[in-house]
């Protein structure tokens, strides 16, 4: 092959010269970006619907506001993926902020302690001898407003004010989703005054209402990297917005944009309602994490925690992690529902998975662990059952694999002229055969990386040809065979009292 130059002229140079031009041979660099959608408070400086990178909890405080939904989503995401690049996008609030009242009864004359859990965070109030109910209420409100977990950095999604013996707790944000704020008085803690009859009465005040529009936030991403978009809302309007943004026809997955991405959201409900939601959807670009009522942490933390825990694997097309089974990965910062009877067994998890809803289980030490993550895709174009894009791994194998192949093609075939043959072996000329070679080399590399498999069959089926109508165009049929996660191992253990030689 002739030696080609990008800058040094191929002819016309006469004066003596020792010259080097410096070019990049190209090298694929796999990077990933986690994007969090949520609410900020007035204390956050970041404008609504504006993406921004966040690298520390202090930055999250400054941009989204201390105690805000977005700040807490960043906190749990960073706890599950410490090295992950994380961006946030504030979504404007709408609707009504819910309130609750905590009415304190007569405290013990000798004093004691009152303990309450809010969103899984434990608060303790010291009751001095002679304290009145109003004193305890004031101390409880102060504990809520000043809460900060020194170990995890967690803050509460509520504020509080006290009037006489009544503490009014108000959500930091508006919206129906804020009804998920969990206020619980533990009854198994020895000496907890609040657990005695009439000591603390919890009641709902103003009901939560409203669902934000996500259109502007999704549009603000443009075609910037957004490998995993975390959004806690799973109502029909929000799910439709995800589908539009990531559409294969004109969205991020379309041929003309190729910016890809995936959405992970969360839905609260029992098995029946979760299954109904999943069966009503059919989107391979959305994964729904089910949350049960009675779970201490709200859905925005479930979605952020699950997404961050698994994205480092899904984005890894170098060592095969993208293809791995994810069962047993513990999600840091989440606790299961307090009622063990609601935890999903195998039958329920199997039903949910077949309905397009992801599943989790509880470890022996009471932690939430991934069972299986799936998309809501179940049916093909004609309504026939189709499991091709059921596994979440499939979408990341495709997006990562195609990005790699596109990089190889750009490096090897970019800025070339096209001919049927290249008898002069010119560097400036490429042929369908050369392009096929680039595809084969890229695919073989992805097989070595554990993304795809069966390279010989790929080569046999690969079809690269010059377009009959447009001589400037090459058409390719690229049949990709992805590596599958090992989800099920079935063994027939037949027991013999004694082997009989035959």
Question: pLDDT tens digits, residue range 82-107?
Answer: 999 999 999 999 999 999 999 999 99
pLDDT at 246 (0 to 100): 98
pLDDT at 16 (0 to 100): 67
pLDDT at 199 (0 to 100): 95
Helices (H), 315-454: 346-354, 392-413, 432-448
Mean of all residue pLDDT scores within the chain: 95
Pair type for strands 85-90 and 368-372: unpaired
Q: How far is Cα 329 from Cα 368, in angstroms, rounded to an integer?
A: 9
pLDDT interval class at 23 (50, 70, 90)? confident
| Other C-beta atoms lying within 10 Å of the C-beta of residue 387 | 12
Contact 68, 172 (CB under 8 A): yes
pLDDT tens per residue across span 389-444 = 999 999 999 999 999 999 999 999 999 999 999 999 999 999 999 999 999 999 99
Q: Which residue has the tokens 């009292």?
A: 497
Pair of tokens at residue 192: 């907890």
Q: How far is Cα 287 from Cα 276, in angstroms, rounded to an integer?
A: 15
Q: Which domains does the chain have, with CATH numbers?
A: 33-93+211-391 (no CATH), 99-204 (2.60.40), 394-477 (no CATH)
Residue 90 CA, chain-centre distance (Å), reads: 16
Instruction: Read off the pTM.
Output: 0.94
Determine whether 177 is exposed, middle or buried from the number of CB atoms within 10 Å of its CB (0-12, 13-18, 19+): buried
- Residues of the chain with pLDDT > 70: what percent? 98
Which sign, positive or negative, has the C-alpha torsion 267, 300, 38, 245? Answer: negative
> Cα–Cα–Cα angle for 22, 25, 26, nearest 5°?
125
Q: Is the pLDDT of residue 19 over 80?
A: no
Smallest CA-to-CA distance from 106 within 118, 97, 94, 114 is with: 114
Phi, psi of 103 (to 5 degrees): -100, 120
* Strand spans (E) along 148-269: 158-163, 166-171, 183-184, 200-204, 228-230, 262-268
Q: How far is Cα 168 from Cα 161, in angstroms, rounded to an integer?
A: 5
DSSP 8-state assignment for residue 482: B
Contact 95, 175 (CB under 8 A): yes
Pair type for strands 429-430 and 417-418: parallel
Contact 186, 195 (CB under 8 A): yes
Rg for the chain, CA atoms, rounded: 28
């Amino acid at each position: 092959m002739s030696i080609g130059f990008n800058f040094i002229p191929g002819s016309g140079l006469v004066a003596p010269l020792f010259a080097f031009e410096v070019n990049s041979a190209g090298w694929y660099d796999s990077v990933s970006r986690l994007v969090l959608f949520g609410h900020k408070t007035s204390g956050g400086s970041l404008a609504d619907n504006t993406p921004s990178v966040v690298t520390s909890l202090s930055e999250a405080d400054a941009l989204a506001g201390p105690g805000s939904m977005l700040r807490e989503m960043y906190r749990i995401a960073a706890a599950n993926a410490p090295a992950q690049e994380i961006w946030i996008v504030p979504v404007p609030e709408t609707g009504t902020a819910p309130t609750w009242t905590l009415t304190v009864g007569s405290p013990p004359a000798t004093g004691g302690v009152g303990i309450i859990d809010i969103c899984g965070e434990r608060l303790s109030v010291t009751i001095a001898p002679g304290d009145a109910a109003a004193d305890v209420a004031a101390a409880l409100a102060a504990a809520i407003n000043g809460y900060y977990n020194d170990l995890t950095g967690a803050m509460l999604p509520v504020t509080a004010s006290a009037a006489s013996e009544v503490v009014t707790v108000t959500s930091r944000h508006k919206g129906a989703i804020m009804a998920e704020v969990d206020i619980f008085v533990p009854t198994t803690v020895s000496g907890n005054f609040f657990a005695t009859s009439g000591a603390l009465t919890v009641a709902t005040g103003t009901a939560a209402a409203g669902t934000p529009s996500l259109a502007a936030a999704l549009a603000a991403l443009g075609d910037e990297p957004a490998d995993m978009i975390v959004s806690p809302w799973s109502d029909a309007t929000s799910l439709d917005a995800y589908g539009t943004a990531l559409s294969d026809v004109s969205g991020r997955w379309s041929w003309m944009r190729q910016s890809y991405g995936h959405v992970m959201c969360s839905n609260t409900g029992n098995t029946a309602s979760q299954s109904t939601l999943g069966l009503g959807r059919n989107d391979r670009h959305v994964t729904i994490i089910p949350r049960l009522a009675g779970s201490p942490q709200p859905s925005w933390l479930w979605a952020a925690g699950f997404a961050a825990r698994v994205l480092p694997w899904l984005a890894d097309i170098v060592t095969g992690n993208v293809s791995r089974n994810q069962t047993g990965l513990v999600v840091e910062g989440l606790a299961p529902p307090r009622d063990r009877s609601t935890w999903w067994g195998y039958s329920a998890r199997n039903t949910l998975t077949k309905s397009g809803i992801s599943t989790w289980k509880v470890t022996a030490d009471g932690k939430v662990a991934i069972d299986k993550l799936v998309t809501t895709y179940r049916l093909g174009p004609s309504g026939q059952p189709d499991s091709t894009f059921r596994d979440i791994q499939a979408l990341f194998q495709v997006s990562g694999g195609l990005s790699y192949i596109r990089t190889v093609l750009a490096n090897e075939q970019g800025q070339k002229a096209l001919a049927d043959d290249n008898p002069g072996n010119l560097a400036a000329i490429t042929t369908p055969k050369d392009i096929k070679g680039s595809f084969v080399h890229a695919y073989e590399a992805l097989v070595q990386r554990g993304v795809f498999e069966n390279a010989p069959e790929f080569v046999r089926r690969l079809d690269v040809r010059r377009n009959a109508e447009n001589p400037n165009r090459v058409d390719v049929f690229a049949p990709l065979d992805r590596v599958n996660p090992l989800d099920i191992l079935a063994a027939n253990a037949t027991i013999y009292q004694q082997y009989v030689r035959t």
